Chains A and B, each alone.
Chain A
Amino acid sequence: MLSMTEKEKIEEEIRQVPIKKAACIEALKIVQEHRRWVSDESIRDVADILDMSAEEVDSVATFYNLIFRQPVGRHIILLCDSISCYVMGLKGIHAELTRLLEIQYGQTTADGRFTLLPNPCLGTCDHAPAMMVDKDTYRDLQPSALADILEKYT
């Protein structure tokens, strides 16, 4: 069930748009902000509040890379896997990250601390390779710097 806060925030978004459905992405973002991911139950709750079918809401949710339909860890690592980072050493960064975390792309560490995801171009190509951890962007990455970066996130 949606919390009161989630409901209020979604209602506020509905007031901003000419038709209820148009608040769909915002509603999914609100749920994810509160629960870190969007479960089947949340899909149905969002559908109810927006007068949409659950399937329609899910078709939107599964379309976008950054709406998570599976549980994720406390921190999200988005490793840029686009072309400038590919040229500038993505391979070494990926190898060191997967070694330190002992997980592959799409997986979450056993302690629930990190989820590692590939992400298209982060738009900081003059400082490739790059990654984001939650809201922080890290540029000009070297494999040797990764362990210290991960230490910051508990």
Chain B
Amino acid sequence: MERPLTQHITFPPLEIRQYEAIGGYQAVRKAVRHMQPQEVTALVKESNMKGRGGAGFSTGMKWSFVPMDVPGPKYLVANADEMEPGTFKDRWLLEGNPHQLLEGMIVAAYAIQATEAFVFLRWAYKDAAIAVRKAIAEAYDAGYLGKDILGTGYSLEMHLHTGVGRYMCGEETALLNSLEGKRATPRAKPPFPQVSGLFGKPTIVNNVETLSFIPHIVNKGADWFKSLSRTADGGTKIYGVSGRVNKPGAWELPMGITMRELMEDYAGGMKNGFGFRGVLPGGASTDFLIEKHMDITLDFAGVAAAGSRLGTGTMVVLDDQTCPVGFVHNLEHFFAQESCGFCTPCREGLPWTEKLLWAIEQGRGRNEDLELLLRHTEWLGPGNTFCALAPGAMEPLQSALKYFRDDFERHIREHRCPYHDPVPAAPASAHLHHTHHL
């Protein structure tokens, strides 16, 4: 089984000479010396690479929207603000092989003729920051970055930006506002960033896993990329599993393996004494899947057909001794806290949702609360909010109400949580960025 993305991951990561020795930066040489920018984009489009950040949009298609004939700066951004709860795949790539990401970024930047590139890295990834900073310096020294790369006349500057903590920064237009030094609130689309992004200039934002794959597509071609997968969505995918399984972890596997293979062959099944109730297949903002979905294929279409989303492909397991109401309350607490507050349904609806769930979890719930929660999943659903945060937050809630309704009803009927003492979440006052005295 080929594992192009992860086969050269080491801790500490390969230095540039070692990376070159295993074929590193060949894709940069090939692209900037022997391919037109549009050829690179066409190749990635032909590979049918779909973005690994969660939305699954065609990467080549995204690049093709950049107007190539406008003068002035253009930007490429690697979205390394991995903050989706339950997601830990990009950290592996960043800490374990930063040159692979840089190489993908340089090729992508060349394809859209970007003049500057940024790695937008989340604050908590301290080891990744060290690794990426070192890799950027090495790439400059070796002539892969800076002016006149490999004597071709193409120039690219690259910067590392470390964030200061806010989930919204993962949304690409909010990320751009944050790079401009502003609050990370999302922007209205259109115009799309491909046309008017960072500082109003054409900008592409791609996920770390997506960009890390680009060198391999350039080296080995679109057909090879498609052949890695078992389904129409090409490539390999990094899948991860956390929760009460025997072997929590992340694995690079062919796109389209089944949930059962992942859970049993790789995650090693449930820990002794724990049963499987459900799983969030792609991070906190995806619908639960349950036992009956065990044989679905884990590609974009397969998970969508089961009523959820592949998302980030990193899964969180709900076991039979963890309260589903408490589980969902934890998620909604996160979303309520991380809402940017810009649009009303999200700002008001998420704290309301959190309070309703907390009341039920504490045994203070009423039957009509379930109806109210269901109404929220519509009010905060797609089309009613400015960005995808609130609709994403409603996905685990709506599916929990569908699959674990008995648990919700039992909390209300028995005026208590049947699983364990409720685990309180931190109050807003516990976050020290809120207070101001001006």
Interface residues of A (CB under 8 A from B): 16-19, 21-26, 28-29, 37, 40, 43, 54-55, 58-70, 72, 78, 81-84, 86-88, 90-91, 94, 104-106, 115, 117-128, 132, 135, 137
Q: Which residues from A are CB-within-8-Å of B330?
A: 81-83, 86
Q: Is the CB of B164 within 8 A of A82?
A: no
Q: Which residues from B are CB-within-8-Å of A65?
A: 164-166, 431, 433
Which partner residue on chain B sits nearest A26 by CB separation? B181
Known A84-B243, A118-B426; contact A62-B165, beta-carbon cutoff 8 A: no
Q: Is the CB of B126 within 8 A of A137?
A: yes
Known A18-B199, A126-B88; contact A69-B436, beta-carbon cutoff 8 A: yes
A129 to chain B, nearest CB (A): 11
Interface string of B237-250 (1 = CB under 8 A from A): 00011111000111
| Chain B interface bracket (under 10, 10 to 19, 20 to 34, 35 or more) | 35 or more
Interface string of B310-346 (1 = CB under 8 A from A): 0000101111001000110011011001101000000
Which partner residue on chain A sits nearest B423 by CB separation? A91
CA distance A36 to B4 in the complex (A): 42
Tell whether B354 is near chain A: CB-to-CB under 8 Å. Answer: no
9 tightest A-B CB contacts, nearest first: A106-B430, A105-B430, A65-B165, A24-B181, A125-B242, A118-B426, A126-B248, A66-B165, A82-B85
Interface string of B214-255 (1 = CB under 8 A from A): 000000000000000000000000001111100011100000
Interface string of B269-291 (1 = CB under 8 A from A): 00000000000100010000000
CA distance A96 to B430 in the complex (A): 18
Q: Is the CB of B432 within 8 A of A117?
A: yes
CA distance A108 to B243 in the complex (A): 31
Q: Which residues from A are CB-within-8-Å of B280?
A: 83
Main secondary structure of the interface of A (DSSP, over half): mixed
Counted as pairs of residues, one from A and one from B, with CB atoms less than 8 Å apart, the total is 190
* Pairs A–B under 8 Å by Cβ, sample size 30: A19-B199, A23-B181, A25-B164, A25-B178, A40-B436, A58-B436, A61-B436, A66-B123, A70-B435, A81-B330, A82-B86, A83-B85, A83-B316, A83-B330, A86-B322, A86-B327, A86-B423, A87-B327, A106-B426, A117-B432, A121-B85, A121-B86, A121-B87, A123-B87, A125-B87, A125-B240, A125-B242, A126-B88, A126-B240, A137-B124
Interface residues of B (CB under 8 A from A): 82-88, 90-91, 122-127, 159, 162-167, 178-184, 199, 240-244, 248-250, 280, 284, 314, 316-319, 322, 326-327, 330-331, 333-334, 337-338, 340, 420-421, 423, 425-427, 429-438
A86 to chain B, nearest CB (A): 5
Q: Which residues from A are CB-within-8-Å of B180?
A: 21-22
Which partner residue on chain B sits nearest A76 by CB separation? B432
